[in-house]
Structure 1
């Protein structure tokens, strides 16, 4: 495989020479962070902010595209050479401070959560997909003060145990459950990726134990609008309770149940397994792995057996080495021994 790296400035698509690129993404963060090392220090002037705000770049690694805002830079001067490093974030940052203003809102009509997310993005140029449990929020139950659009959407997602994820390339975001499938269903679901251990160049593991909760109480906070739900893991006694969760948006049993399901998915014996693998470009052949994103379900096949893990973080790194390009992705998988394998 011949690796390829391309960085261009947007919207004029002016090529920018980079010696290295690192992209970090997590399921607990709404966007990616970017670190760049300029190969040609004279190009710094092309990436400094303009009157329209921070510069935007498009990064393509083995055919996979990311876009970013370039927000800061630092210079390095030392004997025999110098360098310039730049940092940035996903373009979704334009919906957050310091770029987006804080706003005030109180709903006066019933709205579904998906509708409320769409309303937050009106006239921003961004779109959203809502891919978790939806329900109707009564008038007056959704309100905030001095809150940016992205913070508001994050609060809407959190009500049912969801998270916000930025599209790697497009001006779009997605609201998804923190656990799209509960760990006890992972073995039954078709994985998003299959990783064979012979493509893994490095592996590390960190154990984690959580109480074996089998029940949780989820409650709405507003009198006359909220509901209280006892959510129990099916087939279990429902006697060891996780800490109670609440939100003014919990107004239906479906919302409370989904919040409880996500809470009870994080229990028992677990491990965070970090795998370093190549980033194969498409079309993929058997045994090759494309870009792995947070919340993707990964099946790992090795000599000791097959197991499943949920990707919770990914770091993609590209660097030039003696005129060759090396591209690797480091994926962190949340493995559940108690409820999965």
Structure 2
């Protein structure tokens, strides 16, 4: 490509015939300087033109009008009498006739044709076809072919710098590449969509079909036919579902009241639903630790065990030693302080009530002067309280704890000892009947994600739907029947001296019926989460638990709990529970 360079020089243009017209500048002449008015003091004018002030002359002083009584004028009565208005123009009436005739009867018809004229029919949108069958266009190859390659007839040497043509050169080269405009060519994509079965994800999280469960059971709706009190039960805390659970276990065993630490391993704490005390077993290192917990003349020593924030108080009842040179081994066993209310620490007594007494009062009297307290929530959780008539409550050669356990058993309850204080509580064995667990409020929720080991044992029992509960020398006789059944499969009859109230007999009958049916004893091993941390924490016997298993959610009653801490220092803590599951 050749390009000629044509240039033109710039210069100032001239305008011929334009004469110069200049206006000279000069100083202006001062004019009218004489007519000036200087400033001076003004002269006073018209000083005598003043209006003096004075008294106004009095005039018309005699023109006065005295006050007095007015004289009556026109006293004659002027009365306008009322009368009938004379009738006028009675004969003039407006009559109707057919004098008005219809006019303009010509009908007007408006013709309307909604179909417009056909216009611009030939104007349409033009379409272009793509290059369907042409040779495949290679844009990259065409671009590569347009590049300059040294070694041809003309060789360029740019010296490693970018080529910039001179603005005054006669000839310069243009290396730009402008691709040709080509028609669009269709391209067949090699990506194919295959059909098949969907992948199965989260097989453990299944949604079983069945009867729905109640949500927010804490919201109580009062019924108009019930005038009694309504109590709200706190629902179980939802556990945290995590991919990994990190727990820094902490275990400590000290002797009270000095809090001297004891070196121990192989610690186990256990209790079942019918026991009224927790049990402890541990192995000690060295005679120094054994001497700290060895009983003396003051009685057994009290030790405090803390596992992940959960605290227990135990009495060291027994210890054993075993040695073989050069090693020796020491082990101890202990129980909760509620054992002080039983043998061999508490005395045996005999008594009979001489007056009517409530069941709660009968159990509370056994703790008088012992330092222990009794908790019995007979208004909300149960079991109920009832009246025992005079002479019906009697016992011989029994300790305080035996008497309390007997009163609790009469109404279908159990004794729950306190872990870290001198106290105990009476709670129902079945807070809710097994056939009502689906809509009951649970105490603990156990997801399958935290269960390390599990097992089961089939333990079928006869299916009962009724029970006959009666007193002996005193009391009532009640036939308890499960709602919705005929009561044709009764359980063994129950006779107890303390069945002296209808509510007590009803709860005892429900507890006896609930023991029957197809049952499975399920064993679950799970970690003991720290107190105040993630749920479920410590599962106590008699707790109702909801297990969210892989195959579905089910509910059961905790029968026993065992906590083991193995190792020294960073111990491995495991909580093993047994649940009673009804099918």
Shorter-chain TM-score above 0.5: yes
1:209 aligned counterpart, secondary structure = coil
Match of 2:427 among 164, 176, 181: 176
Shift of 1:81: 2.4
> 1:316-331 to 2 correspondence within 5 Å?
316-321=563-568, 323-331=569-577
d(CA) in 1 for partners of 2:495, 2:452: 43
Is the 1:278–1:289 Cα contact (8 Å) retained in structure 2?
Answer: no
1:214-260 deviation per Cα after TM superposition (whole angstroms, max 9, x unaligned): 111001011xx311110000111011110000111111111111110
1:150 aligned counterpart, secondary structure = helix
1:324 aligned counterpart, secondary structure = coil
2:362 aligned counterpart, secondary structure = helix
Aligned counterpart, 2:496: 247
d(CA) in 2 for partners of 1:64, 1:237: 47
Shift of 1:30: 0.9
Match of 2:366 among 116, 120, 126: 120
Structure number with higher relative contact order (C-alpha < 8 Å, ≥ 6 residues apart): 1
Aligned counterpart, 1:205: 456
2:408 aligned counterpart, secondary structure = helix
Aligned counterpart, 1:230: 479
Match of 1:69 among 297, 312, 315: 315
d(CA) in 1 for partners of 2:437, 2:323: 50
> 1:124-139 to 2 correspondence within 5 Å?
124-131=370-377, 132-139=383-390
Shift of 1:324: 2.3
C-alpha spacing 1:79/1:306, structure 2 compared with 1 (3 Å): farther
Shift of 1:124: 0.5
**Residue 505 (structure 2) pairs with residue 256 (structure 1):** yes
Is the 2:472–2:495 Cα contact (8 Å) retained in structure 1?
Answer: yes
**Residue 328 (structure 2) pairs with residue 51 (structure 1):** no
1:184-234 deviation per Cα after TM superposition (whole angstroms, max 9, x unaligned): 221212322111112111111011111111111001011xx3111100001
Aligned counterpart, 2:398: 147
57-66 or 71-80: bigger deviation: 71-80
How many corresponding residue pairs? Answer: 332
Is the 1:213–1:241 Cα contact (8 Å) retained in structure 2?
Answer: yes
d(CA) in 2 for partners of 1:289, 1:79: 46
Shift of 1:77: 1.8
Aligned counterpart, 1:303: 550
d(CA) in 1 for partners of 2:453, 2:285: 28
Aligned counterpart, 1:82: 328
d(CA) in 1 for partners of 2:582, 2:325: 50
Match of 1:38 among 269, 274, 284: 284
d(CA) in 1 for partners of 2:408, 2:426: 6
C-alpha spacing 1:189/1:284, structure 2 compared with 1 (3 Å): farther
**Residue 579 (structure 2) pairs with residue 333 (structure 1):** yes
Is the 1:18–1:40 Cα contact (8 Å) retained in structure 2?
Answer: no
Provide the alpha-carbon RMSD of the alignment. 1.3
Aligned counterpart, 1:6: 252
Greater helix content: 1
Aligned counterpart, 1:194: 445
1:123-157 deviation per Cα after TM superposition (whole angstroms, max 9, x unaligned): 01111111311101001111111110001111111
d(CA) in 1 for partners of 2:562, 2:469: 34
Aligned counterpart, 2:529: 280
Is the 2:303–2:316 Cα contact (8 Å) retained in structure 1?
Answer: yes
Gaps of 5+ in 1: none
Shift of 1:176: 1.2
1:210 aligned counterpart, secondary structure = coil
d(CA) in 1 for partners of 2:306, 2:250: 8
d(CA) in 2 for partners of 1:231, 1:302: 34
Aligned counterpart, 2:418: 167
Aligned counterpart, 1:103: 349
Greater strand content: 1
Aligned counterpart, 1:156: 407
Is the 1:103–1:145 Cα contact (8 Å) retained in structure 2?
Answer: yes
